[in-house]
């Protein structure tokens, strides 16, 4: 078991409180995944705090997840380090009893842009941090959810003339581990996270990073998906497909518009935020056509938790359930899922949105960046190429004449014939039951990339 150290940590029964120190509140830091894995991964990791001197006598890893604002923050704040470890942690680092681990939230942002070679990049800040803290590479780790991050690091090294970087670098999405632990605990032990309460943020306008503290409770939570061996025997799905969107993105709008144009919107269960005519005119910069107004009037049919930005104290409370356990209606009532990832272009990234598709009773397709399906296959997830063409996964990001990406057009072209046909989509859902169970077994029990990194961290700690 490996100890993960936070600025402050307290526990009492089934309640867990994590705090961010004053020195770190104005930085793009969020402890979301750390709290989740620390609480549910109790047999893998142990949460401790810099306020617990007895715990710091043993080797540990001081963790900070750096949120999606990081690249812009680096450019604007050249004179501030990425993180300021508390004094007890600094002492442990100097004594070689600790590793400083910076994990970049899995939003797939670019770390180094060759078109801006003179701007301060994430890698520049890491190098500076290593010098300031006098840390060798084995004591400063940087793990990113940008799965193309290694190529960016290589470009940066060439541009800056760096032979060997001053930190240990790994690429690894964290969702397979986080969602896998949630699934395991919910399925086997009927326990899960209570809504996460964040009493205030570090400063106004920072909606999801640098909160002052978070309180999490572990409570009874039933598994919200079909168990093993029951999918093929479930009643016929009520809906041909389901699709979740908690907030507006253009590529998610493409899904909605495509279903509307194909006249099959009524065949699915859709979650999409309500948009007024004025909002749409602002977004699309043109008069809204009558058929689009008809589409607006048909929304929303919510089956997910809407993303609420106007209530900072409740932000995590409203969304932690949405990013861990999918709605039961999606898992039981929909024969197919159209997954809307965070983005559709740029770096390869895989978030909880794609991993949650494994809960469902039928196949799924991903409206997201290039390489998601390839990555899932590489981990051991068997996807659905026997039922429809999944070559869309490798189509470049080029925008075509209809204003949508070439990859999206290829994906929706392959999927529409399946989800439009009431009988065919139900036949595929039933025929793929064994395959779905295999994927769920993988999610619950297989070793995930993040667990391999934890093993590597533990081995490195033992050799310091």
Direct distance between the N- and C-terminal alpha carbons of the chain, in angstroms, rounded to an integer: 17
Do residues 149 and 111 lie in contact, with contact meaning Cβ atoms separated by under 8 Å? Answer: yes
Q: How far apart are CA 41 and CA 3, in angstroms?
A: 11
**Longest Cα pair distance anywhere in the chain, in angstroms?**
69
Q: Count the Cβ atoms, other than its own, within 10 Å of residue 13.
A: 7
- Residue 443 inside a domain? The answer is no
* Same domain membership, residue 161 and residue 269: no
Q: What is the pLDDT of residues 214-267, one digit of tens each?
A: 888 888 888 889 999 999 899 999 999 999 887 788 899 899 889 988 999 889
Q: What are phi and psi of 460, to 5 degrees?
A: -65, -40
Tokens of 109: 């942002």
- Residue 59 inside a domain? The answer is yes
Q: What is the predicted pLDDT for the residue at 282?
A: 72
* Same domain membership, residue 391 and residue 328: yes
* Same domain membership, residue 320 and residue 267: yes
* Same domain membership, residue 458 and residue 405: no
Helix, strand, coil fractions of the chain, as percent rounded to 5 = 40, 15, 40
Q: What is the pLDDT of residues 147-157, one digit of tens each?
A: 999 999 999 99
- Residue 436 inside a domain? The answer is no
Q: How far apart are CA 288 and CA 300, in angstroms?
A: 18
* Same domain membership, residue 176 and residue 68: yes
Q: What is the predicted pLDDT for the residue at 299?
A: 65
Q: Which domain holds residue 327?
A: 231-431
261-274 per-residue burial string, b: 16 or more CB within 10 A, e: under 16: eeebbebbbbbbbe
Q: How far apart are CA 48 and CA 56, in angstroms?
A: 8
Q: Count the Cβ atoms, other than its own, within 10 Å of residue 145.
A: 25
Question: Residue 284 is inside which H or E element, if any?
Answer: helix 277-284
- Residue 440 inside a domain? The answer is no
Q: How far apart are CA 313 and CA 247, in angstroms?
A: 19
422-448 per-residue burial string, b: 16 or more CB within 10 A, e: under 16: eeebbebbbebbebbbbbbebbbeeeb
Say how far residue 308 (Cα) sits from the centre of its chain. Answer: 17
- Residue 403 inside a domain? The answer is yes
- Residue 438 inside a domain? The answer is no
* Same domain membership, residue 251 and residue 129: no
- Residue 441 inside a domain? The answer is no
* Same domain membership, residue 146 and residue 88: yes
Whole-angstrom CA distances from 44 to 411, 456, 458 are 38, 13, 11
* Same domain membership, residue 246 and residue 130: no
Question: How much is the average pLDDT of 80-91?
Answer: 96
Tokens of 389: 């063409």
Is the peptide bond preceding residue 386 cis, with omega within 30 degrees of 0? no
* Among 166-175, 180-189, 318-327, the least confident range: 318-327
* Same domain membership, residue 91 and residue 184: yes
Q: What is the pLDDT of residues 378-421, one digit of tens each?
A: 999 999 999 999 999 999 988 888 889 999 999 999 999 999 99
Q: What is the predicted pLDDT for the residue at 321?
A: 55
63-82 per-residue burial string, b: 16 or more CB within 10 A, e: under 16: bbbbbbbbbebbbeeeeebb
Residues 82, 113, 252, 411: is their CA dihedral positive or negative?
negative
Closest CA to 357 of 420, 426, 291, 442: 442
Closest CA to 85 of 68, 72, 97: 97
pLDDT at residue 2 greater than cutoff 80 = yes
Closest CA to 74 of 31, 106, 107, 104: 104
Q: What are phi and psi of 3, to 5 degrees?
A: -90, 130
**pLDDT band at residue 201 under the 50/70/90 scheme:** low
Strand partners, 134: none
pLDDT at residue 322 greater than cutoff 70 = no
Domain count, the chain: 2
Q: Count the Cβ atoms, other than its own, within 10 Å of residue 450.
A: 24
- Residue 81 inside a domain? The answer is yes
Beta strands 268-270 and 241-243: pairing type? parallel
Taking each helix axis from N to C end, the angle separating 290-297 and 250-261, rounded to the nearest 10 degrees, works out to 100
Closest CA to 28 of 109, 90, 118: 109
* Same domain membership, residue 237 and residue 351: yes
* Same domain membership, residue 127 and residue 58: yes
Q: Count the Cβ atoms, other than its own, within 10 Å of residue 456.
A: 13
Mean pLDDT of the chain: 87
Do residues 46 and 89 lie in contact, with contact meaning Cβ atoms separated by under 8 Å? Answer: no
Q: How far apart are CA 171 and CA 9, in angstroms?
A: 27
* Same domain membership, residue 248 and residue 138: no
Closest CA to 85 of 103, 61, 108: 61
Q: What is the predicted pLDDT for the residue at 147?
A: 93
Q: How far apart are CA 396 and CA 408, in angstroms?
A: 10
């Amino acid at each position: 078991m490996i100890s993960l150290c936070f600025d402050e940590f307290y526990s009492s029964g089934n309640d867990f409180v994590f705090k961010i120190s004053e020195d770190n509140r104005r930085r793009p830091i969020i402890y979301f995944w750390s709290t989740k894995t620390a609480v549910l991964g109790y047999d893998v990791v142990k949460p401790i705090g810099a306020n617990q001197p007895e715990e710091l006598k043993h080797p540990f890893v001081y963790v900070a997840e750096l949120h999606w604002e990081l690249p812009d923050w680096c450019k604007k704040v050249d004179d501030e380090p990425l993180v300021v470890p508390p004094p007890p942690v600094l002492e442990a680092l100097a004594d070689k009893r600790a590793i400083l681990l910076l994990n970049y939230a899995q939003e797939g942002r670019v770390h180094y842009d060759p078109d801006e070679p003179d701007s301060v990049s994430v890698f520049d800040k890491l190098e500076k941090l290593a010098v300031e803290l006098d840390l060798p590479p084995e004591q400063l780790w940087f793990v990113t959810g940008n799965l193309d991050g290694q190529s960016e690091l290589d470009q940066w090294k060439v541009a800056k003339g760096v032979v060997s970087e001053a930190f240990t670098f790994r690429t690894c999405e964290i969702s397979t581990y986080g969602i896998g632990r949630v699934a395991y605990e919910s399925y086997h032990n009927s326990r899960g996270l209570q809504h996460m309460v964040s009493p205030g943020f570090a400063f106004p306008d920072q909606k999801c990073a640098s909160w002052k503290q978070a309180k999490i409770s572990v409570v009874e939570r039933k598994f919200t998906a079909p168990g093993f061996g029951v999918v093929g025997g479930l009643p016929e799905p009520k809906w041909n497909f389901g699709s979740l969107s908690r907030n507006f993105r253009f590529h998610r709008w493409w899904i909605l518009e495509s279903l509307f144009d194909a006249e099959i919107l009524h065949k699915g269960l859709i979650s999409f935020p309500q948009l007024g005519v004025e909002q749409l005119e602002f977004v699309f910069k043109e008069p809204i056509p009558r058929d689009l107004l008809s589409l607006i009037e048909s929304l929303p049919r919510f089956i997910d938790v809407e993303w609420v930005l106007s209530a900072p104290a409740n932000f995590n409370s409203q969304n932690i359930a949405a990013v861990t356990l999918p709605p039961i209606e999606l898992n039981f009532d929909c024969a197919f899922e159209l997954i809307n990832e965070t983005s559709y272009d740029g770096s390869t990234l895989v978030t909880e949105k794609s991993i949650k598709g494994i809960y469902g009773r039928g196949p799924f397709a991903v409206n997201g960046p290039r390489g998601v399906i390839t990555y899932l296959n590489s981990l051991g997830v068997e996807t659905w190429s026997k039922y429809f063409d999944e070559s869309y996964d490798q189509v470049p990001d080029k925008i075509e004449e209809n204003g949508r990406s070439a990859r999206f057009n290829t994906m929706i072209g392959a999927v529409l014939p399946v989800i439009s046909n009431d009988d065919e989509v139900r036949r595929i859902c039933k025929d793929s039951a064994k395959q779905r169970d295999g994927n769920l077994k993988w999610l619950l029990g297989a070793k995930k990339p993040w667990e391999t990194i934890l093993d590597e961290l533990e081995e490195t700690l033992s050799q310091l």
